[in-house]
Structure 1
Amino acid sequence: MLSALAILTLIGLTLASPAHAGEIELGPRPAYLVGQMAEGPLKEKLAACIGRPAKRTLFSVSHRGAPLQFPEHTEEGYRAAGLMGAGILECDVTFTRDKELVCRHSQNDLQATTDILATGLAATCKEPFTPAAGDTPATAECRTSDLTLAEFKSLRGKMDAADKTASTLEGYMNATAPWRTELYAGTGTLLSHKESIRLFKDLGVKFTPELKTPVVDMPFDGFTREAYAQKMIDDYKDAGIPPEDVYPQSFDLEDILYWIRNEPEFGRQAVFLDARRGLDPMDPGTFSPSMAELKEMGVNYLAPPLYVLLTLEDGRIVPSAYARAARDAGLDIITWTLERSGPLSSGGGWYYQSVSPAIDGDGRMLEVLDVLARVVGVKGVFSDWPATTSFYASCMGLE
């Protein structure tokens, strides 16, 4: 039988309301990560904070909910992120066939992030499931823009995974990485953008919606890219959300400039997600537009992947030229994504590529986080498990 404490914890995750907005539970992972650190002043500082009450901070930004263990962009994952102290939650925004906005990382990822292939709606998929054969990988592509909002809402979110070597549909769908879990994947409630706004407001957090690049040709049935960008902001205005509580994001600089020109109160906090190809983090000559030019355009927030902000100097993790140039231009920096790489024993993979020789275990994650916060001066860090960033921020007294 479940203990009374376990029952209360489950209620907090599934029935959270404004009354739960101030409650924060970090769980065992921060203590585990501290335990993996090398001995030194940082470990001593963080170890002294284990078990202390944590506070909600804007430094702790939830990336797609809590997808280290919960299906991404689902109500359950968002509630878990709120419980772990994230001060800002993210809804990646795309649209349905009836031009309703929904929370999904990509317009064409339903085959990997939902159960659509196991439902009657599989018939709507742009590409039906085709099993792997020889050297040809398994394929499928299912789009939100081929579903109505009601059809989208009938699906169940699952852990983001697809096995392209699979010869069966079951094998293709059941591909969750071993360092993640299926323990919390039994429900996976999908949300419209408007529903996410109501939920986040109830949880007492701020908002960072990301306008996703459409995979369909625009205009889509008369729906222009500008109308799409405006509709996302209008949802916050209609809900009475103050502009200062919203950090709209996009990888497309034109979206950022649209908000700066047409919705300046929201554009003031628009976040340019910087993943420009050909950009060398150590060569300012490749920064085009330059940091100063971005600032002159009205951009105030810049968000590159975390490896772009870091480099190694005599074996130590230090800020990159990119990080220094952004700071010198007066740009506020946010970065992504912590807790998305699995175990860090072999260099950390893509997110740690600029400092991989120094990454030899999970405890290094908190060292990287410390350099990002104290030396680079980032304002926030996206994490797939917000307890980690909430713990660090609370211990260090960050806002």
Structure 2
Amino acid sequence: MQYLLLTSALLLGLASAAVINKDGYPTKSFNVQIGPRPYYLVDNMDEGPLKKKMQSCSEGPFKVSDFVFAHRGAPLQFPEHTLQSYHAARREGAGVIECDVAFTKDKKLVCRHSQCDLHTTTNVLNRTDLAHKCTTPFTPAKDGVPAAAKCCTSDFTESEFESLCGKMDGFNPNATTVHEYMAGTPYFRTNLYSTCGTVMTLNKYIALVDSWRLKFTAELKTPEVEMPYLGYTQEQYAQDMIDAFKKANIHPSRVFAQSFLPDDIFYWIDNEPNFAKQAVYLDERVDTPEGYANATASIPGLAKRGVKIMAPAFFALTKVDGAGQIVPSEYAIAVGKAGMDIVGWSFERSGWLNKGGDYYYQYVSSVINNDGDMYTVLDVLAQKVKIRAMFSDWPATVTYYASCFGL
């Protein structure tokens, strides 16, 4: 009898521990999994104290971290802004997950990196019932003129958008057929998980991330159609994005609203001050030397206007000093002096670094020579620039570092 009682109690305990959530996984057991890539990068690092520290963290534990912003989910290997990409980002430890927000023909909000990227990020060109609605239907390459197409969220209703399949972002400019045009995935990514990604509306993204009790970063994408669009103003667009979170009862402390347009940030400061406390000004002015200088000089004024978080491409946050060391840039120092936070973007978008990196490493290319140097740069950003967070196309890479250093 005692044996039977013990057995019954054990079975009840196991049943309780194995409650299944709507995603089909046990609710009481969630393990962050980083996969082999961080270990490959650590092995590739130059010998030194940082490598030894990173090696010492090889067995974890690895934890969810708000230092890790999932850039479009996990698009290094999954179609961006899809359900599958978001699931991967969550599993890799991202504490904050992104939805870039664009609007449809019927003025509904959906997750897409650009208002007009459907021709490179979905199967719309293969959809004979929808392709003809694109702003610019597919035209093949001919006589030295590259292939072209332009398909926008505003070309389709929300229901039409949701019928699409997400694919890896890319295209072949030399294509003479739609099939060839769509086969343009960059060399450092994969089509292995790109059979038919489930595209997301803003509301479904909010419900998903909320169910995981994680945080949100939603970027109001700059429209590629003339505004107002059929009476839809930029201000209403900015308000609608915030209203989606309010209607879902999401506390402002869980939301990082973003935009490249300063007027959007100012609108939220003036009209949604609670959400503006974590509004992120994505600063693309740094892309030219003149713009970098002007952006740096403007930091005190932006701080006075109420901007709290600056987010340039992370190349703008470091430089190489006279001793050949990577150090904080003038821009980073100015932001720090103004009492503002910094979020960098975007890790894991560069491919191989053995030739000095590309756009994201342009100010430190002279001292970059292997993939492991990604962690060298991230360490400077975290420890010296003191960034608040880093966007990443493969969150596991940053999660490894964040867990190792308790971020």
Query: Where on the TM-score scale, by shorter chain, does this alignment land: which range?
Result: over 0.9
The letter of the residue matching 1:200 is V
Aligned to 1:106: 114
**Match for 1:184 among 193, 197, 202?**
193
Are the counterparts in 2 of residues 71 and 159 from structure 1 also a CA contact under 8 Å? yes
Give the AA of the match of 1:292. P
1:202 — aligned with what? Answer: 211
Q: Deviations over 1:7-45 (max 9, x none)?
A: xxxxx9x93669278431111111111000011000000
Q: Structure 2: where are the runs of 5+ without partners?
A: 1-19
User: Residues 177, 395 of structure 1: CA spacing in aligned structure 2 closer, same or farther, 3 A cutoff?
Assistant: same
Query: Is 1:305–2:313 an aligned residue pair?
Result: yes
Measured after TM superposition, the shift of residue 281 of structure 1 is 8.6
Structure-2 change in CA distance of 1:222 and 1:18 (3 Å): farther
Could you tell me which residue of structure 1 aligns to residue 15 of structure 2?
A: none
| 1:261 matched to 2:273 | no
Matches within 5 A, 1:1-399: 15=23, 19=27, 22-119=30-127, 120-276=129-285, 280=289, 284=293, 286-287=294-295, 290-313=298-321, 314-398=323-407
Specify whether residues 24 and 278 from structure 1 end up closer, same or farther in structure 2 by C-alpha distance, changes over 3 A only.
closer
Q: Distance in 1 between matches of 2:385 and 2:399?
A: 18
Is the 1:281–1:322 Cα contact (8 Å) retained in structure 2? no
- TM-score, normalising length: structure 1: 0.93
Deviation at 1:187, TM superposition (A): 2.4
Q: Percent identical across equivalent pairs?
A: 50
Query: Superposition RMSD on alpha carbons, in Å?
Result: 1.9
Describe the superposition over 1:183-207 as per-residue Cα deviations: whole angstroms up to 9, x where unpaired.
1111200010000000111122100
Tell me how far apart the structure 2 counterparts of residues 162 and 279 of structure 1 sit (CA, whole Å). Answer: 27
Asked if the contact 2:66–2:94 (Cα under 8 Å) also holds between the matched residues in 1, the reply is yes
Q: Write out per-residue CA displacement over residues 136-157 of structure 1, whole angstroms, 9 at most, x where no aligned residue.
A: 1110000100100000000000
Tell me the amino acid that sits aligned with residue 104 of structure 1. R
1:71-124 per-residue CA deviation (whole Å, 9 max, x = no partner) reads 000000001000000010000000000100000001100000000000021011
Instruction: Kindly name which structure, 1 or 2, has the bigger radius of gyration based on alpha carbons.
Output: 2
- Note closer, same or farther for the CA distance 1:288–1:246 as it changes in structure 2 (3 Å cut): same
Contact 2:286 2:292 in 1 (8 A): no
Aligned length: 386
SS state at 2:239 partner: helix
Given that 1:247 and 1:270 are in contact with CA atoms closer than 8 Å, whether structure 2 keeps it comes out as yes
Provide the rounded CA distance (Å) in 2 between the counterparts of 1:61 and 1:117: 31
Indicate if the aligned counterparts of 2:296 and 2:331 stay in contact, CA closer than 8 A. Answer: no
CA contact (8 A) 1:90 1:209 kept: yes
Residues 1:275 and 1:18: Cα distance change in structure 2 (over 3 Å): farther
Tell me by how many angstroms 1:178 deviates.
2.3
**Structure 2 Cα separation of the partners of residues 383 and 136 of structure 1:** 34
SS in 2 for 1:299: coil
Q: Secondary structure at the match of 1:213?
A: coil
What are the ranges of 5 or more consecutive residues in structure 1 without an aligned counterpart? Answer: 1-11
Is the partner of 2:198 in helix, strand or coil? coil
1:283 and 1:321 in contact (8 A); partners too: no
C-alpha contact 1:282 1:322 (8 A) present in aligned 2: no
Quick one: which amino acid aligns to residue 260 of structure 1?
I
Displacement over 4 Å in runs of 4+: 281-284
Distance in 2, matches of 1:283 and 1:164, equals 31
Assess, with a 3 A threshold, how the Cα gap between structure 1 residues 47 and 282 changes in structure 2: closer, same or farther: farther
Distance across 2 between alignment mates of 1:282 and 1:187: 40
1:287 is displaced (CA, Å) by 2.7
Contact 2:68 2:395 in 1 (8 A): yes
* AA aligned opposite 1:65: G
User: TM-score, normalization: structure 2?
Assistant: 0.92
